Amino acid sequence: MSGRTALLSGNEATAIAMRQARPDVFAAFPITPSTEIPQYFSKFVADGETPAVFVPVESEHSSMSACIGAAASGARSFTATSANGLALMWEELYIAASLRLPVVMACVNRALSGPININNDHSDSMGARDSGWIQLYSENAQEAYDQFFIALKTAESVGLPAMTCQDGFITSHAVEPVELLEDGKAAGYCGTWKPGRTLLSGPVSMGPYDGAEFYMEHKRQQSDAVSQAFEAHARAVREYGALSGRLLDPVEEYRLDDAEYAFVLIGSSAGTGKDAVDRLRERGHRVGLLKIRLFRPFPAEAIARALSGRRAVAVMDKCDGFSGSGGPLAAEVAGALYGTPAAERPELRPFVYGLGGRDVWVEEFFGIYESLRNPWAADAGRVEYRGVREEAPV
């Protein structure tokens, strides 16, 4: 395949990126809305377009187990899943991270049951945010394609697993123009993974019992690797930008230079938010938007710099943290701003929206902006739910 622009869904674009990255093993179990990714990849295998081994398994727990075994043997290993499939992998997510195996997973975000729901929100990947995986979030199919390469490069640089996240159906199934790399350039960027000791390289113990004598030191080493991922990710972004002409920094500032107010969010809603910002600007309102691509490790310093000096910011979560004070993104942004001087620290307002696939419109951003401009008064610290029927029956 030569470099070209093609009309692709986010799922197909991700599957193409996976093929171009030349994995050794792809293990997966189908689950909506990520099913198309292994479907496309299995066809690449059947058609002889990749030498990778496709492993059909009996569950998502097994797919991650297969990836761990393959990666521990020195094989570049990929998978894809969503929602309850990710939850079924839970035990294995922590094992992949603690064994320092750079498995790369495409997570197509879907609401986590229950009640049962197959539409988009971020409850699945946000539930796994502290499992030790690198997490990248994409606004559109182009970013889903691009960030898969960046995730792989970062993961293999520091020895940690990574997941690239895109919004189920909204980007995974919507078709849009995607600019593809040439196969050779993509393979050159990804290079060849050179693991250290593996199950096949000689006597080695992986996953042994780790008592109190050593467990804490190993966790500290794992945490150090996460910190090193900042520079590894920055390097991967720079190299990919030089190759593709697309620079995907950890955060993207949109019309923030002179903004008094800002929306902060991740995923596909950023596109709607940018439209809302443009319309509000046309009416004379000084408002901007901050989109976060890299969620783990969390780019706290970049976020604090971008938001410092604003009057107020609306942090919008497509996931409820059930903490009584908003979702995970709001908590992380609040922590990032805590160290900024009081005079420069904006008022932070947490919002929860779009759960279970509920649509968010430009007009919803207008409402959030109006709420943002009003003083908190007695409602200080209260999370605001947008687009919800407050009197809905339980």
251-280: per-residue pLDDT in tens?
A: 999 999 999 999 999 999 999 999 999 999
Residues 307, 165 within the same domain: no
| Domain CATH code at residue 55 | 3.40.50.970
Cα separations in angstroms, 104 against 65, 118, 308, 376: 13, 23, 34, 42
Strands 134-137 and 104-109, how do they pair? unpaired
Average pLDDT on 171-191 reads 98
Note whether 243 and 185 are within 8 A (CB). Answer: yes
Q: What is the pLDDT of residue 378?
A: 47
Task: Using a pLDDT cut of 90, give the percent of the chain over it.
Answer: 91
| 341/364 same-domain check | yes
Please tell me whether residue 367 adopts helix, strand or coil conformation: helix
Place of tokens 């609306």: 314
Cβ partners under 8 Å of residue 82, min gap 6: 31, 32, 33, 34, 107, 108, 109, 110, 124, 168
Q: What's the whole-number average pLDDT of the chain? A: 95
Task: With respect to residue 205, please indicate whether it lies within any of the assigned structural domains.
Answer: no
Q: Average pLDDT in the 309-316 region?
A: 97
If asked whether residues 176 and 79 sit together in one domain, one would say: yes
| Cα 381 to Cα 378: distance, rounded to the nearest angstrom | 9
- Does residue 296 share a domain with residue 323? yes
Specify the number of domains making up the chain.
2
Are 264 and 304 contained in the same domain? yes
Residue 320 and residue 183 share a domain: no
pLDDT score at 303: 98
Residue 201 lies in a domain: no
Does residue 199 form part of some domain?
A: no
Are 263 and 224 contained in the same domain? no
Query: What is the pLDDT at residue 382?
Result: 82
284 band by pLDDT with thresholds 50, 70 and 90: very high
- From residue 215, alpha-carbon distances to 92, 98, 158 in Å are 18, 10, 20
In angstroms, the Cα distances linking 256 to 25, 39, 140 are: 43, 41, 21
Residue 137 lies inside a defined structural domain of this protein: yes
Is the pLDDT at 161 greater than 90? The verdict is: yes
Q: Has residue 257 been placed in a domain?
A: yes
| Per-residue CA distances from 270 to 173, 261, 282 (Å) | 17, 15, 18
* 109-118, 299-308, 371-380: least confidently modelled range: 371-380
pLDDT band at residue 1 using 50, 70 and 90 as cut-offs = very low
Note the pLDDT tens digit of each residue in 336-388.
999 999 999 999 999 999 999 999 999 999 999 999 998 665 455 689 999 98
pLDDT attached to residue 376: 62
Alpha-carbon span 315 to 155, nearest angstrom:
28
Domain assignment present for residue 154? The answer is: yes
CATH number at residue 364: 3.40.50.920
Tell me how far CA of residue 391 lies from CA of 91, 141, 183, 291, 359, in angstroms: 38, 37, 54, 32, 19
Report the pLDDT averaged over residues 164-181.
98
pLDDT at 199 over 90: yes
Q: Are residues 324 and 370 in the same domain?
A: yes
Paired residues of 175 in beta bridges: 9
- Per-residue confidence (pLDDT) for residue 380, from 0 to 100: 55
Structural domain boundaries, residue 299: 251-385
Q: Are residues 161 and 298 in the same domain?
A: no
Where is pLDDT greater, at 294 or 390?
294
Residue 278 and residue 219 in one domain? no
Same domain? For 177 and 270 the reply is no
Q: Are residues 226 and 264 in the same domain?
A: no
Give the pLDDT of residue 394.
45
Query: Where on the phi/psi map is residue 161: left (φ > 0), alpha (ψ -120 to 50), or beta?
Result: beta
Q: Is residue 320 part of a domain?
A: yes
Residues 27-44 have pLDDT tens digits of: 999 999 999 999 999 999
Pairing of strands 175-180, 134-137: unpaired
Any domain includes 312: yes
Q: Read out DSSP for 46-94? A: HTTS--PEEEE-SSHHHHHHHHHHHHHTT--EEEEE-HHHHHHTHHHHH
Q: How many helices (H) and strands (E) does the chain have?
A: 13, 15
pLDDT score of 2 more than 60: no
By CB atoms closer than 10 A (0-12, 13-18, 19+), residue 375 is exposed
